[in-house]
Amino acid sequence: MPTHYDLYALEDMSGGDKEFMKTVVAAFLEEIPPDLASMQMAIENDNHKMAYQFAHKMKPNLEMFGIDLIREISAMERWSESKKPTSAIQSQLQTITTMVNDAITEMKRDWKM
């Protein structure tokens, strides 16, 4: 039973089709790690616009897997529209990174990928 992600929305969307679900999980595992790394790099380089693009891109995938980071992603999007320093978003970035990496580890184990 997953603890760092939830399959409710995916099961609903797929009608319980396990092969389809596995394909969506595989796509998540392929796309999210580089997006997360790119968002981290954008923040480190104080590139607000790029950080926004990656945060916004990841949001629907995180929601589909029940990874509750909407507050942190929304904070990231607001930060990207500001002139605040990177230190203002570090706490949210750490939470996002930890939760996403925990979910990725668990998905790989659960789906044997």
Q: What is the pLDDT of residue 71?
A: 96
- Owner of token pair 């939830």: 6
Predicted confidence band at 2 (pLDDT cuts at 50, 70, 90)?
Answer: confident
Domain boundaries, the chain: 8-110
Element (H, E) at 29: helix 18-44
Q: Tell me the Cα Rg of the chain.
A: 15
- Please calculate the CA angle 77-92-56 and round it to the nearest 5 degrees: 30
Q: Is the pLDDT of residue 31 over 80?
A: yes
Average pLDDT for residues 66-88, to the nearest whole number?
94
pTM reported for the whole predicted model: 0.94
pLDDT tens figures, 7-20 = 999 999 999 999 99
Tell me how many helices (H) and strands (E) the chain has: 5, 0
Instruction: Tell me the three state secondary structure of residue 45.
Output: coil
Ramachandran region, residue 84 (left: φ > 0; alpha: ψ -120 to 50; beta: rest): beta
Q: What is the pLDDT of residue 78?
A: 93
